[in-house]
Amino acid sequence: THTPRIFSGVQPTGALTLGNYLGALKRFVEMQDNAGMETIYCIVDLHAITLWQEPESLRQAIRAVAAAYLASGLDPKKSIIFNQSQVSAHAELGWVCSCVVRLGWLNRMTQFKDKAGKHAEAASGGLYMYPALMAADILAYRATHVPVGEDQKQHLELARDIAAKFNNDFNVPDFFPLPEPMIGGPAPRVMSLRDGTKKMSKSDPSDMSRINLTDDADTIAAKIRKAKTDPEPLPETLEGLEGRPEARNLVGIMAALTDRTAEDVLAEFAGQGFGAFKPRLAEAAVAHLSPLTAEMNRLLADPAEIDRVLGDGAERADAIARPIMAEVFDVVGF
């Protein structure tokens, strides 16, 4: 009974990676163009400050994510593109969701454990509450579908639990839809170039572990050349990649970049070693990413225009969220 609507977001916490691009941005664009659904894409700056961000870098990073969105092909005429802190419903509903979520649920979140590390006592309260704010981001629009990478699966399940508990506690069945995760596409989990068991992340201390959307052609080629692999040639079938996470990852990246299946990539390269495969992968990555990087740089030269696009998006997002917030406040008893 809820209108289908897509919501997703990216944190402005440093240069975006190929993982963000293949797992999120590229899919955002496909959904904008195909789904016949309303698409809402946020830059989640409130989430970013759960870890310390230097204010001027944060300001730049917000514009850089906006530029990456636009350069990837998101069109402000087709999608709502905006910055989270400019729409107050996120913080307001975030508080309500914080009061719905149970501490026991939050204690199970593996991302908190990963990000807080050994010093959980020193982590911010915001980092702990992050999944409640993420639930609010989605529910503020009654979004029904959320395209994310595999790393966000557990948070999406929590958002569903929060929606269901709200509906149940206040006896308003179906008030919030239970958002469906859309995890998939050819690269739901792009792995580190240095360690095939860790996800490629903008927060990995090693810059060689990831390809950044701002890397130039030589840097991309060097990172792929130095990527960890094994001495075996590429197999004919996917089963032959089992137990070879680094090889599996590079094949998956090639598939995603060239809009093919991993099977098709293997059909082309079976029997060849990485000495032959890597230069071809570097070529594909550069061919795909360099126009994107150039367009990002062009857009970033005019920050006022980016701010205008974000301001316009915020107004349109607010127009959807504001009446839903009024209903939430009424249900809660405010």
Q: Is the dihedral of CA 89, 95, 99, 102 positive or negative?
A: positive
Task: Answer with the entry of Na ion, ligand ADP, none that 181 interacts with (C-beta below 5 to 8 A by kind).
Answer: none
- Note the residues at the interface with ligand ADP (CB under 6 A): 10-11, 13, 17, 19-20, 23-24, 148-149, 151-152, 187-190, 199-203
Question: Was 137 annotated as part of a binding site?
Answer: yes
Q: Using an 8 Å Cβ cutoff, are 161 and 105 in contact?
A: yes
Based on the residue annotation, tell me whether 199 is a catalytic residue of this protein.
Answer: yes
Binding to Na ion (CB under 5 A) within 131-170 occurs at 151
State the sign of the Cα–Cα–Cα–Cα dihedral 89, 173, 8, 49: positive
Residue 91, amino acid:
A
| CB of 198 or CB of 322, closer to ligand ADP | 198
Catalytic member of 26, 202, 228, 278:
202
What is the side-by-side strand order in the sheet with 180-182? 79-83, 38-43, 5-10, 145-147, 180-182
In DSSP terms, which residues pair with 121 in a beta bridge? none
Annotated catalytic, 26? no
Is 199 part of any known ligand binding site?
yes
> From the CB of 111, what's the least distance to ligand ADP, in Å?
8
Number of residue whose CB is nearest Na ion: 151
Q: How far apart are alpha carbons 142 and 174 in whole angstroms?
A: 10
Give the count of residues interacting with Na ion (CB under 5 A).
1
Q: Which of 78, 113, 115, 228 is catalytic?
A: 115
| DSSP codes of every residue in 180-216 | EEE--SS-SSPBPSS-TTSB--TT-S-GGG--BTT--
Tell me whether residue 143 or residue 325 sits nearer to ligand ADP (CB atom): 143
- Position of minimal CB gap to ligand ADP: 23
Least Cβ distance, residue 128 to Na ion (angstroms): 16
Catalytic residue list contains 202:
yes
Contact indicator for 91, 132 with CB cutoff of 8 Å: no
Distances (CA, A) of 8 to 93, 125, 211: 16, 23, 22
- Tell me which residues are annotated as active site: 115, 199, 202
Task: Give the residue numbers of the binding site for ATP.
Answer: 11-13, 19-20, 149-151, 190, 199-203
Sites of contact with Na ion (CB under 5 A) = 151
